Amino acid sequence: NAGVTQTPKFQVLKTGQSMTLQCAQDMNHNSMYWYRQDPGMGLRLIYYSASEGTTDKGEVPNGYNVSRLNKREFSLRLESAAPSQTSVYFCASSLGTASGEQYFGPGTRLTVT
C-alpha cells in the first residue's frame, strides 16, 4: 500500500496562475483533509471532506477550492495564486469521524512569485 500520495512534490507559480494539487489514498479511508504548514504557524486546515460527496471549509479556506472526486481522491485548486499562498501543503486521510488518527502524504512545496 502506498498510503497517501500527493503530486506534484514541488511547484513554482507566478502570481495569478492557477494549479491543482492532487491527493489519493489507498487505505479505504472515508475522510480526507488539506492542510498548509507555514513556519511558526503550525498545520492549518484548509478544507476537509468527511465522506465521499461532501466538502467543508476549515480554518483558512480563502483562495482555495476542493473536489472530492471519489472515495480515493481529493484535489485542492488555487484559482489565482498569490504570494501569501507560498507554503507546504499536506493531504491527510482518516478512517472516518469515529477515528481521529490522520495519516499524511509527503507534501507539496509551493512557491508563488
Partner 1 sequence: QKEVEQNSGPLSVPEGAIASLNCTYSDRGSQSFFWYRQYSGKSPELIMFIYSNGDKEDGRFTAQLNKASQYVSLLIRDSQPSDSATYLCAVNALTGANNLFFGTGTRLTVIP
Residues that bind partner 1 (CB under 8 A): 31, 33, 40-45, 48-51, 56, 58, 90, 94, 96-107
Q: Which is nearer to partner 1, 69 or 82 (CB)?
A: 69
Nearest residue (CB) to partner 1, 85 versus 108: 108
DSSP 48-83: EESSTT--EE-S--TTEEEEE-SSSBEEEEESS--G
The least distance separating partner 1 from the CB of residue 84, rounded to whole angstroms, comes to 19
Q: Are 74 and 85 in contact (CB under 8 A)?
A: no
Cβ-based nearer residue to partner 1, 26 or 79: 26
Locate cell 512545496: which residue?
A: 109
